[in-house]
Structure 1
Amino acid sequence: MSSDDDDLAARIAATASGAYDVAPDSELKLVNRSENTVFALTDAATGEPLIMRVHRHGYHERHQIESELDWLAAIRADGAVSVPQVRAARDGTRVVTVDGVDDRPRQVVCFEQIPGVHPDENLLTDNDFHHLGRITAALHDHARRWRRPPGFDRFAWDWESCLGQRPRWGRWQDSVGVGPPQRRLLGRAQDLLEQRLRAYGCGADRFGLMHADLRLANLLVHDGDITAIDFDDCGFSWFFYDFGAAVSFIEDDPALPRWQDAWLAGYRTAGTVSAADEEMLASFVMLRRLKLLAWMGTHDHALESRTKLARYAEGSCELAECYLTSGGRVVRW
């Protein structure tokens, strides 16, 4: 994403801010750009900090964003997990449509800012993953119990949309560092992965509404309170794909077996894990890794792409070797 794209997103956010009860000269500061562009908005009149998310065109339709916000509201009402509070616009709408800035309408959502910091990725502990596992189980439990409202619509992270004929994040085969030898090795791993996922199945006990990006970077910790954020990718998939997301970009860390045990222990405080579920964790790590390889190839503006893409294909091949050698039961121990 170029500086021109950042400037465009900033103009969209500035226009959208006029729909909220904030002073006209309130400051916007870029926080992050990935699928969407996120700004910190500080009300010039009150000093109140807010978060404004400018959705990129074509990733979600407005009603799909509304569905995400419906789930957040239901989770907040349930109280099992702390999640962000949406700030409605002056007219009560939760999603503001901005026309006349881009060549197409753009959607914007505003959240109350949550105090806290992300766990330090250089100082990850077993306790971090225990908390993450517990929160994941609580969200899965809520999703299973919740009666979704009519018209609820979030996309699926099934085989076709992950690695099949309609990969939402692109093709890993086209990513940086993937030549013929890598395609052959990773293709063999993908074939085994598909076999294992099809055997595991998509029954209601295994496949449903979930966060889909629940990693430590999407937790905020403050005075012992933990908030799960960034539900933008939430949708329907295998519940234990959330473990693959939990270890995004750190799948080759030697501490992974210990972190997996901690995550499972945390999960079991609020949910159950069958032997079949546990045996599939390596497959969900491999699924996430191949998806991220594709994602990094199509999102070169993202921080992870700028810092990790150079050897991501090589590391993916190392993981694939272990996955194949173990028959799909281990990624890298």
Structure 2
Amino acid sequence: MTSRRAQIARLRLVALAALGSYALPGGRLTFVSHGENTTFRHDSAAGRHLVRVHRRQRHGRHIDSAAAIRSELCWLEAIRADTDLFVPEALAARDGATTVEASASGETRVCSVLRWMDGRILEGSARPVHLRRLGAAMARLHEHADRWTPPPGFVRIRWDYETFFGDVMIYGDTSAADCWALLPAELRTRFESVAVRMAALLPRVGDQGLIHADLHLGNAVFQHGDVKLIDFDDCGTGPRLYEVAVALWELRDGPDYPIFRDALLAGYLAHRDVDATRLDDFIALRQIAFDLWYTGTAQVNPAFAAKLDDVHRWSLAMLDLVETRSAGT
């Protein structure tokens, strides 16, 4: 496995190559993250931007990644035009395209550039008021999705049973089926029991449509009483209750979870209805999706590999927490 430092250094050269396609002055490129995509902050006289170097096959084995990224940016443009929600703005390249293909050091990737969104991420220090604001913004996002008609050629992930439990996705460079095979036997058995339950539940979930699909506190930027929604990289069609579950998932095992849950739901219900009866089932579903993604990413990213056993233990503890209630409903 190539070292994390070497991976980032190689992809930094790709980001620099991509910047040549944009009408941006020279500036400073600073590393931000290396997980799903690899991102850098670009500071110049034109302001601050986020440069995204997208992972190959990010959106599933049968989806054109470039088309999927353009579709993500198309929805963001519509949200900005039709609402006053704060979401990222894509910067067009010199040729007008919202994505470019860049190559360096034998690596070719699809890249995109977004205007930076200022504010604070409160993933470890949020208060109930922040969950209320996030719930309200989430509901308004879903309202927009229900009104909006995607253009021809729009393609995004379908968050259905096959995507969660089949062999649709590629995590890192590993197929979903191979990620299942890499799981410890006890964990795989527990995940399979959830799959049986969700096979009956997912088709009966009524409220479905475009969702962000990763709208937890790490993807919410707070500033001056506003919440800004970032990182739409997972967006696609799926159950709205899954969206709610993602926002609460990392809080589920904390002592203040009931307060945070009620705050998020209050914000959401102020704008539209949601039936949260089976919320814990969808939190379990999110835990499985996260663990499979983490398992695949750990095969190519040393930082993830070092924490993989901890993630597996967390998954078992989370299922212990939520499954008693789920089995009784």
The TM-score range, normalised by the shorter chain, is: 0.7 to 0.9
Give the aligned residue type for 1:261: D
- Give the number of aligned pairs: 316
Deviation string for 1:181-233 (max 9, x for gaps)?
A: 333333323322333223x24x5xx1211100011111111222221011111
Corresponding residue of 1:297: 295
The question of whether the paired residues in 2 share the 8 Å contact of 1:174 and 1:294 is answered with no
Corresponding residue of 1:285: 283
Q: Report deviation, 1:168.
A: 4.6
Give the aligned residue type for 1:66: R
Equivalent of residue 73 in structure 1, options 77, 93, 105: 77
The question of whether the paired residues in 1 share the 8 Å contact of 2:214 and 2:247 is answered with yes
Structure 1 segments of 4+ aligned residues over 6 angstroms from their partners: 301-304
Q: Percent identity?
A: 31
The question of whether the paired residues in 2 share the 8 Å contact of 1:75 and 1:81 is answered with yes
Corresponding residue of 2:243: 242
Q: TM-score, normalised by structure 2?
A: 0.87
Corresponding residue of 1:179: 184
Q: Alignment partner of 1:270: what SS? A: coil
1:212-223 paired onto structure 2 within 5 Å: 212-223=213-224
Corresponding residue of 2:41: 40
Q: Report deviation, 1:305.
A: 4.1
Q: 1:42 to 1:213 in 2, by over 3 A?
A: same
Corresponding residue of 2:211: 210
The question of whether the paired residues in 1 share the 8 Å contact of 2:14 and 2:107 is answered with no
Q: 1:327 to 1:63 in 2, by over 3 A?
A: closer
Equivalent of residue 114 in structure 1, options 112, 117, 133: 117
Which has the larger displacement, 317-326 or 143-152?
Answer: 317-326
Indicate the RMSD between aligned Cα atoms, in angstroms: 2.4
- The structure carrying a bigger strand percent of its residues is 2
Corresponding residue of 1:96: 100
Structure 1 Cα separation of the partners of residues 38 and 137 of structure 2: 26
Deviation string for 1:147-182 (max 9, x for gaps)?
A: 11111111211111112343454356445xx53333
Q: Alignment partner of 1:247: what SS? A: helix
Q: 1:302 to 1:259 in 2, by over 3 A?
A: farther
Give the aligned residue type for 2:246: A
The question of whether the paired residues in 2 share the 8 Å contact of 1:283 and 1:328 is answered with no
Q: Alignment partner of 1:220: what SS? A: strand
Corresponding residue of 2:62: none
Structure 2 unaligned residues grouped into runs of 5+: 60-64
Q: 1:168 to 1:283 in 2, by over 3 A?
A: farther
Deviation string for 1:277-324 (max 9, x for gaps)?
A: 211211110100011111111223779947864433233223323444
Structure 1 Cα separation of the partners of residues 160 and 263 of structure 2: 27
Which has the larger displacement, 305-314 or 238-247?
Answer: 305-314
Which has the larger displacement, 5-14 or 306-315?
Answer: 306-315
The question of whether the paired residues in 2 share the 8 Å contact of 1:192 and 1:324 is answered with no
Q: Alignment partner of 1:265: what SS? A: helix
Structure 2 Cα separation of the partners of residues 117 and 79 of structure 1: 22
Structure 2 Cα separation of the partners of residues 278 and 246 of structure 1: 13
Corresponding residue of 2:146: 144
Q: Alignment partner of 2:189: what SS? A: helix
